[in-house]
Amino acid sequence: MEIIESKPKETILLLGNEAITRGALEAGVDIATTYPGTPSSEIADTFSAIAKYLKKKGEKPSFYFEYSTNEKVALEVAAAASLSGLRALTCMKHVGLNVASDAFMTYLYVGCRGGHVIVSADDPYCHSSQNEQDNRYFAIFASAPMLEPTTPEEAKEMTRLGFEISEELQSPILLRTVTRLNHARGAVVLKKPVKPRGKGHFEKSPMLVTTPAVARARHPELLKMMERAEKISEKSPFNEIINVGRPDDWGIVTSGVSFNYVREIVDDLNLDVRILKLGMTHPLPRKMCEKFVKSCKNIVIVEELEPILENQFKEMIYDLGTNVKLYGKSTGRFSRLYEYNLDIVTEALSKIFKVKNPISKPVKPKIKIPGRPPSLCPGCPHRATYYAVKKASPKGTVYPTDIGCYTLGKEPPLEMADLLLCMGSNAGTACGLAASTDHTVISFMGDSTFFHSGIPPIINAVHHSHDVVITILDNRTTAMTGHQPHPGNDFDGMGRPARRIKVEDVVKGCGVEHIEITDPNNIEETTEAFKRAIGFKGPSVIVSKAPCILLENRAKRKAGEKIPVYTIDQEKCKKCKICIGKFGCPAFYYAKDDSIHIDEQQCNGCGNCVLVCPFDAISKKKEMK
Amino acid sequence: MSDKISIVLTGVGGQGVITAANILGKAAVNAKVNVYVSEVHGMAQRGGSVSCTVRMGNIFGPLVASGTADAIISMEPSEALRYIQYANKETKVVTDINSVIPFTVAVGGEEYPDLDDIFKEINSRSKLYKMDALNIAKESGALITKNIVMLGALAATDVLPFKSEILLKTILDNVPAKYKEINKRAFEGGMKAIKQS
């Protein structure tokens, strides 16, 4: 395993997320916690893989790692470890910090003891997210020192040194990353890992109990901490001025991955300019920035999403009373939307610097290419559940959904997703729909989402007798983010045996009176189960239980078993198109003569098409794959 | 040769695009060439369109600007065309000829274009190299080595700033011992296909 077995000073290619894990290991991290979420997942998955690899070798990992039930729990677990003197890392996707924010906001008042790096993986362009919120606001909101890496190498170094900064300030710090860093690979030079501390000790202090009196006493301390943080920022090697060519009075201020675009384009456009590259972006090195402002007559701010640097520089220019012209989002040169790239930044900079844009306008293909969006895999048990629900539910039924693979049920022909806000919102919004409309309401969430934030709204439904059907699609894994385990599994993220918590036991404990467990691969039974649940007055829960087909097939292959493949008897097929047009398995396709076939490469052998075909035209092939 | 090299790798989720990009990045590190790779994760693994970019030399970021790719390596013909905006007249576009029909064609009533039309448009905008990579992979001993066939093809285009032996060695260092021969055949098959075209 290269990431732990390579020697110090070696250069290896690492994913931005792996580099963060490596940085934490080099800093002697004792504990890492997370709830998985793209684009952050591989940070935690790397800890998990290392722990399992060492376990197999009969060695003990130097850290404790867990996939916590949600981001708030993950942060609380790590915060307590840090307050016991250990070094802790917590990672999550940007919207995960919303979940953790209740703990996060007051944690900054309390402060930490062992260094604690909290990673927020933001997702400009919403590559795999429900919004593109800019979590740099969280650093400002909570008064959290913040680092923003540019490359995998810098991500590793910022993580490593982030623990030092955190310990010096006795405050958790935010490492704010974006997809283009998390999922970029670059060369990283390894350093020797420091030995972790191992066991912590919790020193009691009345200041750790945030009663109003304590909170009032802690708030001024928080502001003082930020003053000390500013001094660190002034001296930080992550904040630097880079002179390109022979700069006169033009400057560019940038941070994070935007620096990559700026640095390259400045060369391409032959610009003479000084670049203020900011790595510690909260608090800003005020003196350094002011000096930079004074050395310029024109300043361009290049940052993705919100005008956070821009507004702070505007404030600075106003305070200094200087006559500097500022180019940024407010002057219409840069967008607050989506992810930047070379095309976007070159276009803006060439206009501002009045030089020719060397990049040709992108020309789309003349021929129309069919879309290739992600879809529920062939053999996915969610498809079978959706098909059964559709058969059972009356016209006008509303289907609130949630975050996971099953969100893909939104696409035709299933179209089984009507409303989605965030993790766990399916059951909460179901309650609201039941309270305010006459629609039949059937909501969907996965098992991992159930443990994450799906339980409180079920209790709400029971307590207020909302007439809803809440479905838990239990495929025994967190599939969408890469098959991480959750409390419904009998093993944990370190590969150790763990106590399995059954979804139906929890639901029963919540007081739900009508609970049914069904196997979605038995479509008929599942349809009947939903009919009964719809007929039940009051909240009912259906646990639709079948393993993720990808995991099931992986296990079969490992055990040397073959995967069945299905085929269509062209003589029996009446081209009713139910398999394609209603069930929508992506392994089915039309040949040139409009006959329907199954792509053997794609078929995962679930056999549910046999159940949906009304003419018995589909059967298992003799040869398996 | 320019001091920057930009390569776009494309295909369909499951075809090994990300693995190919990762291996290419590792080869560059082995050759002591500055390299930066960007990948698509998450939703893309569910059968979606996948693209990765690999840049080498005097570069600062992993993304490729429109019209500046030196090579587009595609595991599927329509995916080569989907990313054609990165190509210019000199760009070498290498694609497998075997199409994977997206479910939007069966379900959404979209149409998969005629292969000849796809190749015609690519050829009019760049230098097209098409090959039956799936068959070469099959003859090498495993269909899943198609991505390695494509890396062999890339190595034969002279786009890379290091010797093809370094890429082949990196591939072999990253596969289990029992698959080394198959991967070697796949790589060499890909190289041969380009050299003969």
ipTM value for the complex = 0.96
Assess whether A152 and A294 both reside in one domain.
no
What is the rounded CA–CA span in Å between residue A177 and residue A19?
Answer: 12
Residues of A in contact with B40 (CB under 8 A): 127, 183
pLDDT reading at A409 higher than 70: yes
Residue A339 lies in a domain: yes
Residue A133 lies in a domain: yes
Burial class (CB in 10 A: 0-12, 13-18, 19+), A462: middle
Residue B138 lies in a domain: no
Residues 366-405 of A with CB under 8 A from B: 366-377, 405
Residue A357 lies in a domain: no
Assess whether A410 and A546 both reside in one domain.
yes
Strand partners, A20: none
Residues of A in contact with B138 (CB under 8 A): none
User: How many beta-carbon pairs under 8 angstroms link A with B?
Assistant: 174
Residues in chain B: 197
Q: Where is A30: in which H helix or E strand? A: none
pLDDT digits (tens, 9 = 90+) for A97-121: 999 999 999 999 999 999 999 999 9
Residues 555-614 of A with CB under 8 A from B: 580-581, 584, 586, 588-590, 599
Assess whether A475 and A614 both reside in one domain.
no
Burial class (CB in 10 A: 0-12, 13-18, 19+), A426: buried
Assess whether A222 and A263 both reside in one domain.
no
Residue A344 lies in a domain: yes
Q: What is the mean pLDDT of residues A8-37?
A: 98
Q: What is the mean pLDDT of residues A411-432?
A: 97
Q: What is the mean pLDDT of residues B73-92?
A: 97
Q: Which member of A39, A184, A580 has the closest CB to residue B106? A: A580
CB A491 within 8 A of CB A55: no
CATH number of B22's domain: 3.40.920.10
Q: Which member of B29, B67, B113 has the closest CB to residue A13? A: B29
Assess whether A90 and A165 both reside in one domain.
yes
Please write down the long-range contacts of A258-261, taking CB distance under 8 Å and 24 or more positions apart. Answer: A258/A302, A258/A303, A258/A304, A258/A340, A258/A345, A259/A150, A259/B60, A260/A150, A260/A151, A260/B60, A260/B61, A260/B62, A261/A302, A261/A340, A261/A341, A261/A342, A261/A344, A261/A345, A261/A346, A261/B60, A261/B61, A261/B63
Single out the residue in A235, A267, A285 at which a domain terminates.
A235
The tally of domains found in chain B comes to 1
Residue B29 lies in a domain: yes
pLDDT of residue A592: 84
Assess whether A304 and A245 both reside in one domain.
yes
Q: Where is B96: in which H helix or E strand? A: strand B92-96
pLDDT band at B1 (very low <50, low <70, confident <90, very high): very low
Assess whether A58 and A129 both reside in one domain.
yes
Residue A515 lies in a domain: yes
Single out the residue in A535, A556, A577 at which a domain terminates.
A556
Residue A362 lies in a domain: no
Residue of B nearest to A266 (CA): B60
pLDDT of residue A338: 97
pLDDT digits (tens, 9 = 90+) for A177-193: 999 999 999 999 999 99
* Contacts of A560 by beta carbon, 8 Å cutoff, 6+ apart: none
Residue A372 lies in a domain: no
Question: Between chains, do B107 and A359 touch, taking CB under 8 Å as contact?
Answer: no
Question: Between chains, do A185 and B66 touch, taking CB under 8 Å as contact?
Answer: no
CATH number of A330's domain: 3.40.50.920
Q: Which member of A362, A369, A590 has the closest CB to residue B78? A: A369
Q: What is the mean pLDDT of residues B27-45?
A: 85
Pairing state of beta strands A184-189 and B35-38? antiparallel
Assess whether A203 and A313 both reside in one domain.
no
What is the average pLDDT score of chain A? Answer: 97
Assess whether A332 and A209 both reside in one domain.
no
A contact test, residue of B40, B60, B101 with most A CBs within 10 A:
B60
Residues in chain A: 625
Residues of A in contact with B41 (CB under 8 A): 38-39, 41-42, 128, 183
The more confident residue out of A412 and B160 is B160
Question: Between chains, do B46 and A580 touch, taking CB under 8 Å as contact?
Answer: no
Assess whether A189 and A253 both reside in one domain.
no
Assess whether A48 and A163 both reside in one domain.
yes
pLDDT band at A601 (very low <50, low <70, confident <90, very high): confident
Domain that holds residue B54: 4-132+159-172
Residues of A in contact with B59 (CB under 8 A): 264
Residue A279 lies in a domain: yes
Half-sphere exposure of B145 (CA within 13 A, CB side): 29
Residues of B in contact with A363 (CB under 8 A): 84-85, 125
pLDDT of residue B45: 57
A247 and B CB contact within 8 Å: no
Residue B65 lies in a domain: yes
Q: How far is CA B184 from the centre of its chain?
A: 17
Assess whether A10 and A134 both reside in one domain.
yes
What is the rounded CA–CA span in Å between residue B42 and residue B130?
Answer: 29
pLDDT of residue A602: 87
Domain that holds residue A606: 562-620
pLDDT reading at B42 higher than 70: no
The tally of domains found in chain A comes to 4
Q: What is the mean pLDDT of residues A131-150?
A: 98
Residue B141 lies in a domain: no
CB A443 within 8 A of CB A454: no
Residues of B in contact with A42 (CB under 8 A): 41
**Torsion angle defined by CA atoms of residues B120, B126, B130 and B133, in that order, rounded to the nearest 10 degrees:** -130
What is the rounded CA–CA span in Å between residue A48 and residue A45?
Answer: 5
